[in-house]
Amino acid sequence: MHPFIDSGRGFAFGEAIYPAGGVYGPLKDRYVTLLIIHEGKARVFSDDSETMLGPRSCGFFRNEHRLFIEYAEGRNTRVSWCEGYAGEVAEAIAMRLRSLPSRIALSQRIEALQRLGVELGAGSSSNLNLLRNALGETIFLAYFHEAQMSEQERLTPRSVLRARFYMDENYEKEITVDRLAALVGVTPQHLVSSFRKHVGVTPVRYLWQVRAARGHFLLLQTGLPISDIAYQCGYKNPFHFSRQISEQFGMSPRQVRANKGYRVASDVAEGAGDTAYGMALSGTKTILQIADGQSHEIQR
């Protein structure tokens, strides 16, 4: 468990609807809270800070003394949350948590994790608690990741974002730095310098990474000939495609396709038998013994 959570108490998930607004709190214990507004609005008071959350947004709060939430009066608000008790943290970690954006747009990833947490219910057992806590840790990590990405995008020049988006959508076309720079309204030298600073690679290198990633996907998910995949992804010949796939993924295109990126199942690796149980019409147990692809039905 991460140090901002009291590992002895874990996480809890919940959801509620306020048809015409309302309030929650004040809570006086120390909590870490991920609050999601699916519909409506909320004003969150966490110690001395105040944060407004609108529809399809989520916020992260770690209070020391007080947490109080107001839901907009006169309107329907649907809200859900994941919370835990705040653990003792070093000042360096506390500063890092305070530096995070207090709210971001609600992503499909966070919404899906939250739905799974709520569906677990409030029951208690060793395995259920372990699963709930694993989901709780995961949803907070998802928030931290997306908040960081959101902050990076906020600080990234518009010209770089536009150039990256264009390459993501048009990787199969012939794209040069000069043409890309003209599209986003900067000089080629400025684009290369700014792109390297904010993305970590040059625009050309980024383009080849996008093409290789798309080619890898098509190798695994389609039966297209390797040469067709190469041309569809913007490569001038299959040899260049093969070299880049080998550099990025450590396998040739044929090896990627043969391996499929999956681990061999244990029944195949060990030649194990497989037995499944069902019920016969008479109510007696039916055993289906599956071996070498053949099923043998045995009545008992």
Q: 230 falls in which pLDDT band (50, 70, 90)? A: very high
Q: Which residue has the tokens 């913007």?
A: 234
pLDDT of 87 reads 66
Mean pLDDT of 77-97: 73
What's the predicted TM-score (pTM) here? 0.54
By the 10 Å C-beta count (0-12 exposed, 13-18 middle, 19+ buried), 219 is classed as buried
Separation between Cα atoms, residue 19 and residue 4, nearest integer Å: 33
Residues 268/262, Cβ–Cβ less than 8 Å: no
Q: Which residue has the higher pLDDT, 270 or 119?
A: 119
Number of H helices, E strands in the chain: 11, 12
pLDDT of 204 reads 95
The amino acid present at 285, given as its one-letter code, is K
Q: Which helix (H) or strand (E) segment is 157 a member of? A: none
3-state secondary structure of 250: coil
By the 10 Å C-beta count (0-12 exposed, 13-18 middle, 19+ buried), 190 is classed as middle
pLDDT of 98 reads 62
Residues 142/106, Cβ–Cβ less than 8 Å: no
pLDDT of 4 reads 61
Query: What is the residue-averaged pLDDT of the chain?
Result: 80
3-state secondary structure of 46: strand
Residues 28/64, Cβ–Cβ less than 8 Å: no
Mean pLDDT of 227-252: 92
Q: Which residue has the higher pLDDT, 86 or 223?
A: 223
Q: Is the torsion defined by CA of 177, 183, 211, 106 positive or negative?
A: positive
Separation between Cα atoms, residue 111 and residue 127, nearest integer Å: 23
Residues 243/284, Cβ–Cβ less than 8 Å: no
pLDDT of 92 reads 55
Backbone phi, then psi, for 89, in 5-degree steps? -130, 150
pLDDT of 142 reads 92
For residue 170, give both structure tokens.
């048009």
pLDDT of 272 reads 42
The amino acid present at 84, given as its one-letter code, is G
Q: Which helix (H) or strand (E) segment is 135 a member of? A: helix 126-155
What phi-psi label fits residue 56: left (phi over 0), alpha (psi between -120 and 50 degrees) or beta? left
Question: What tens digit of pLDDT does each residue of 50-61 get?
Answer: 999 999 999 999
Question: What tens digit of pLDDT does each residue of 170-219 get?
Answer: 999 999 999 999 999 999 999 999 999 888 889 999 999 899 989 988 99
Statement: residue 252 has pLDDT above 70? yes
Q: Is the torsion defined by CA of 204, 206, 212, 217 positive or negative?
A: negative
Q: Which residue has the tokens 């190798």?
A: 219
Statement: residue 152 has pLDDT above 70? no
Statement: residue 21 has pLDDT above 60? yes
Statement: residue 299 has pLDDT above 70? no
Q: How many CB atoms lie within 10 A of CB 18?
A: 20
- pLDDT cut 70: percent of the chain above it: 77
